[in-house]
Structure 1
Amino acid sequence: MANLPQSLSMNAAAFGGPGSSSASLSAIGTQANKDRKMMFAEQPVLDLSNPDLRENALLELSKKREIFPDLAPLLWNSFGTITALLQDIVSIYPVLSPPNLTSAQSNRVCNALALLQCVASHPDTRMLFLNAHIPLYLYPFLNSTSKSRPFEYLRLTSLGVIGALVKVDDTEVISFLLSTEIIPLCLRTMEMGSELSKTVATFIVQKILLDDVGLDYICTTAERFFAVGRVLGHMVAALAEQPSSRLLKHIIRCYLRLSDNPRACDALRSCVPDMLRDATFSSCLREDPTTRRWLQQLLHNVQGPRVALQAGTGFDHILVN
């Protein structure tokens, strides 16, 4: 077991000697409590490497991961632990197609994915996780089209791992994801997933678009832009039947960010759904001033007065390339 928290040394401050203060005593108490919690995590982490004990260890750690602040470094630096998690993930690939995944199999792998999300979220392990290309192990789950509960649970938990990566604004993370199939995989989920998985997938696309590298990537070709625009348009139409304020917020933010690109903004004049231009979603937006402001800005960008673009800078130009 490597890099385990070191015990606190006893010093004068700990005994209230010269130089002690309430702040230092409080810091010592906080650290001691942190170390005590980590001691309870060490044995289950060791158990992950034992196939006979792994399932219970996965369940225990996934339930309590929020109370172990440095669980991610412990998982990463413990011999064989990440390999054990990946073994559980890879083991269910054969039941993905044809779809024969059971609830028990799904639950076990989702517990493993929850620990990987912990690693993806921690600042000390995020880039190590990315450099090891571990997100690629999750893509078969996002590629599934089955809507059964075990598959949807697996899809949502996998998206949670990717969501943890993009939550922190980091161009290196975005560049890595764009070198993979993350955009078409997210678009697939945005079309056929549950409301919750659609929301997480749209959030991931939104975070990619908010990075300049991501916006440039989507708007470089008409094919990419219209693939994203088509899915966003279908989602807006579906929301007219089954409204979701949370999902609508992410969709509008995606449209607004696309309008920051001059060529995309020009194309959006005919691509933004009419339902975003009329009062279809007024009830959804009544209690959400931020999203209302985003929508107003979007409509201003695509409908307001604009300086004429130079010839060859709109999407009509790249459609012939």
Structure 2
Amino acid sequence: MQTPEKLILDICNPDLRENALMQLSKNTRRYGDMAPWLWYSTGTVTALIQEIISIYPYLSPHKLTPDQSTRVSNAIVLLQCIATHQDTRKLLVKANIPIYLYPFLNTTSRLRTFEFLRICSLGVIGALVKVDDTEVINFLLSTEIFPMCRHTMETGSELSKKVALFIIKSILLNKEGLKYACSTAKRFCAVTNVLGNMVGELVEQPSKEVIKLIIGCYLNLSRNPRACDALKSCFPQMLQDGTFTNYIHDDPNAQKQLEHLLLLVQGARVKQGGGGY
């Protein structure tokens, strides 16, 4: 196999790019320092962006082929590598590069070719929010990542829903993210409505991981006094009546989180601020 340095150089050569993207995307974990190589190699990030924007015309109408989807997904995986590394993640944000992935999050097609791009794009955002960084969170909020994640939670596959839920949960854990989501009744309702709908869907297609993520989102919302009070009127009954108890019975942490959440929603009253929205 060629060295990563050689493959990174090949990304800038249109004739060699496809193979380089494939080989590098398969070995992101193998090469621990690949992110700085990708970022600081002349023209490499530009070539990755060129790959991404080259398929915009094929997103609507739905003309994206499996080969196109795979090739661009490989490029996005390399952006995720950059987003994961502590020395390059903020540089990626400061250059506004995540915005180039947003068209893939706004698609409505459930075809596998589109879902693959959606999951890979969410993976980049998920990598960014794994570290609680207010600067990164503010960037994502200012570029309207919340509505795009809600859109994915409504239309995506189970895997893309999980990643979108993880992103929302992580943003709500941040002070600025929670403030954003609870600043108006409209935003609060937009979040709780989609969470409530997902709880309803779990009756037909139960998922332990989705249940745990939803509980985490509600728990983070409850950290805001107004939101906690408002949850009393919109918290899903199915999370209160034991409908999903069997799915988390072997996870003590999830059980404790749900019990704590129920105490907050059913018991504690807001002492100041008038309560609710």
Q: TM-score surpassing 0.5?
A: yes
Q: Which amino acid aligns with 2:240?
A: R
The equivalent residue for 2:174 is 211
Aligned to 1:290: 253
Q: Does 1:120 align with 2:83?
A: yes
1:132-151 to 2 correspondence within 5 Å?
A: 132-151=95-114
Please name the residue that 1:172 is paired with: 135
Picking from 94, 104, 110, the partner of 2:57 is 94
Q: State percent identity of aligned pairs.
A: 60
Contact 2:172 2:221 in 1 (8 A): yes
Cross-structure match for 1:195: 158
Q: 2:226·2:273 contact (CA, 8 Å) conserved in 1? A: no
Looking at structure 1, the residues matched to 276 and 236 of structure 2 have their Cα atoms a distance apart, in angstroms, of 19
1:75 and 1:139 mapped to 2: Cα distance?
21
1:227 to 190, 193, 202: 190
The unaligned stretches of length 5 or more in structure 1 are 1-36, 316-321
Give yes or no for the alignment of 1:79 onto 2:42. yes
Q: 1:65 — aligned with what?
A: 28
Q: How far apart are residue 97 of structure 1 and its match?
A: 0.8
Map of 1:29 onto structure 2: none
* Number of residues of Structure 1 aligned to a counterpart in Structure 2: 277
Provide the secondary structure at the position in 1 that maps to 2:74: helix
Where structure 2 has 5 or more consecutive residues not aligned to the other structure, the ranges are: none
Distance 2:86 2:236 in 1: 39
The answer to whether the aligner puts 1:299 opposite 2:262 as a matched pair is yes
Ranges of 4+ aligned residues in structure 1 off by more than 3 Å:
307-311
* Aligned equivalent of 2:122: 159
1:49 to 12, 15, 19: 12
| Counterpart-to-counterpart distance in 2, 1:71 and 1:306 | 51
**Offset at 1:95?**
0.5
Q: Distance in 1 between matches of 2:221 and 2:59?
A: 35
Q: Tell me: CA distance 1:307–1:179, structure 2 relative to 1, closer, same or farther (3 Å).
A: closer
CA distance in 2, matches of 1:209, 1:116: 24
RMSD of the alignment, in Å?
1.2
Deviation at 1:309, TM superposition (A): 4.0
1:234-284 per-residue CA deviation (whole Å, 9 max, x = no partner) reads 000001111000011010010011111111011100111000001110111
Amino acid at match of 1:114: V
Larger radius of gyration: 1
Instruction: Give 1:314's aligned residue.
Output: 276
Report the 3-state secondary structure (helix = DSSP H, G, I; strand = E; otherwise coil) of the residue aligned with 1:65.
coil
- C-alpha offsets along residues 81-126 of structure 1, whole Å, 9 cap, x if unaligned? 0000000000000000111111100000000000000001111111
Distance 2:77 2:142 in 1: 24
Paired amino acid for 1:216: K
Report the TM-score, using the length of structure 1 for normalisation: 0.85
1:102 maps to amino acid:
T
Q: Which structure has more RCO (C-alpha within 8 Å, separation ≥ 6)?
A: 2
Specify the SS of the correspondent of 1:145: coil
Alpha-carbon separation, structure 1, partners of 2:130 and 2:80 = 12
Q: Which residue does the alignment assign to 1:245?
A: 208
Task: For residue 310 of structure 1, report the CA deviation from its aligned partner.
Answer: 4.4
Aligned to 2:73: 110
* TM-score, structure 2 normalization: 0.98
The AA in structure 1 aligned to 2:184 is T
